[in-house]
């Protein structure tokens, strides 16, 4: 069943959709009669860790988690250790992904004053950032003048600037409510407004993980929201529960509900998958790292909302697959000949999230017990990558940015 309600066969070969309609002969047939077929999701905001942070996550476990959640392309952020600021570091990150990933991927370039932005664009960076207008885990906050200069450089390169916008005040918070106050929703909206004002006219600008309706309204360019800001509020947790600590913070229940009122104007839903280990989180709140896992549960949470008729299936496809692909310039997956053949096949039944059955290396989830619909089968590059809990075939395709200069084109 296609999202339109039409029933048809999808014929793929060479990783591309060849025909949608009546049955034809095929080497392999997958029975989808009980399932709804969605285009594979593009999660344009993940932190796959790896390297010296491999205890938290690596490209293999992170992309296994993605595929099990119906995500077939992930875009890795550059605030790694060390941060990605040179063409050599970017190429090394791509090689690491090519060796371990099981689905499509792209890598962003770090935005710092000494970063070789042009070199990283030529080396295949998908976008620039997330660019930190406030400090966060492994990310250095930049002042307004520095941001303005860096935006001008990105704009001159024709690049996409992705921004983490917050205001940070006061001492280290000791509770989730204090964390919400220290990085307030009002401050976030002010930061979004300020960044929008200082960015040059015509720049391709994208705001990451906006957590309030006011922030969405203040943004120029495209905006992204996360499942944790849509589905979680800090009142759902004990006040000192570090597992719910994330930047921007979880908000109160009223603010969370207000964010849903912006559903039609939110361009992209992305996970901001940023895992930390249980021991790293099991410290006093004041010193606990911010960040939560979420790439595997992103689309399943939204699909449960579809089954409950809270949102439309078409809007989920637009925000998780087609719009992010268009923003990034990635070939779209869909139901027309020539489209990329990445699909996820979802049953009707709603289940509950059980962290013990997820695939992220950290082994926990803040969404424990929430309703979700997980895919039974996932197709990557025209082949079954995942079926009923089993991984079958890896397709680690790299998607370079539009400025990529391959050696043969130099």
Query: Is 47 labeled as ligand-binding?
Result: yes
**180 tagged catalytic:** no
Query: Is 48 labeled as ligand-binding?
Result: yes
Query: Is 45 labeled as ligand-binding?
Result: yes
**Active-site residue (options: 267, 272, 339, 342):** 272
Query: Is 206 labeled as ligand-binding?
Result: no
Query: Is 272 labeled as ligand-binding?
Result: yes
Query: Is 276 labeled as ligand-binding?
Result: yes
Cα–Cα distance for residue pair 276/280, rounded to 1 Å: 6
- Return the structure tokens found at 386: 């995942």
Query: Is 234 labeled as ligand-binding?
Result: no
Query: Is 164 labeled as ligand-binding?
Result: yes
Which are the catalytic amino acids? 272
Q: Which residues are annotated as a binding site for Zn(2+)?
A: 45, 47, 130, 164, 209, 272
Q: Which residues are annotated as a binding site?
A: 45, 47-49, 79, 130, 164, 209, 272, 276
């Amino acid at each position: 069943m296609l999202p339109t309600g039409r029933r048809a066969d999808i014929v793929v070969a060479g990783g591309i959709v060849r025909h949608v309609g009546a049955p034809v002969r095929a080497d392999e047939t997958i029975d989808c009669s009980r399932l709804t077929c969605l285009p594979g999701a593009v999660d344009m905001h993940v932190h796959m860790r790896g390297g010296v942070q491999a205890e938290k996550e690596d490209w293999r476990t992170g992309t296994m988690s993605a595929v099990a959640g119906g995500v077939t392309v992930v875009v890795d952020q550059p605030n790694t250790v060390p941060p990605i600021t040179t063409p050599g570091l970017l190429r090394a990150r791509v090689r690491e992904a090519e060796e371990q990933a099981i689905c499509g991927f792209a890598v962003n370039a770090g935005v710092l004053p000494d970063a070789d932005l042009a070199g990283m664009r030529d080396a295949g960076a998908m976008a620039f950032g997330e660019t930190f207008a406030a400090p966060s885990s492994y990310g250095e906050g930049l002042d307004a003048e520095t941001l303005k200069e860096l935006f001008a450089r990105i704009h001159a390169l024709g690049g996409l600037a992705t921004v983490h916008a917050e205001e940070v005040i006061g001492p280290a918070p000791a509770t989730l409510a204090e964390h919400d106050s220290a990085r307030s929703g009002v401050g976030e909206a002010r930061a979004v407004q300020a960044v929008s004002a200082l960015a040059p006219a015509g720049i391709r600008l994208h705001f990451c993980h906006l957590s309030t309706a006011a922030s969405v309204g203040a943004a120029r360019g495209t905006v992204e929201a996360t499942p944790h800001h849509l589905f979680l509020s800090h009142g759902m947790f004990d006040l000192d529960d570090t597992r719910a600590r994330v930047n921007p913070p979880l908000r109160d229940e009223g603010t969370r509900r207000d964010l849903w009122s912006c559903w039609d104007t939110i361009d992209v839903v992305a996970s901001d998958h940023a895992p930390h280990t249980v021991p790293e989180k099991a410290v006093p709140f004041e010193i606990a790292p911010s960040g939560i896992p979420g790439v595997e549960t992103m689309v399943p949470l939204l699909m449960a909302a579809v089954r409950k008729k809270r949102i439309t299936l078409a809007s989920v496809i637009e925000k998780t697959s087609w719009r992010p692909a268009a923003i990034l310039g990635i070939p779209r997956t869909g139901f027309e000949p020539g489209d990329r053949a990445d699909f996820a096949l979802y049953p009707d039944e709603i289940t509950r999230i059980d962290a013990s059955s997820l695939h992220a290396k950290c082994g926990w989830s803040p969404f424990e017990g929430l309703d979700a619909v997980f895919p039974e089968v996932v197709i990557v590059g025209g082949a079954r990558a995942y079926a009923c809990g089993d991984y079958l075939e890896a397709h680690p395709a790299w998607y370079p940015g539009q400025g990529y200069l391959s050696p043969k084109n130099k």
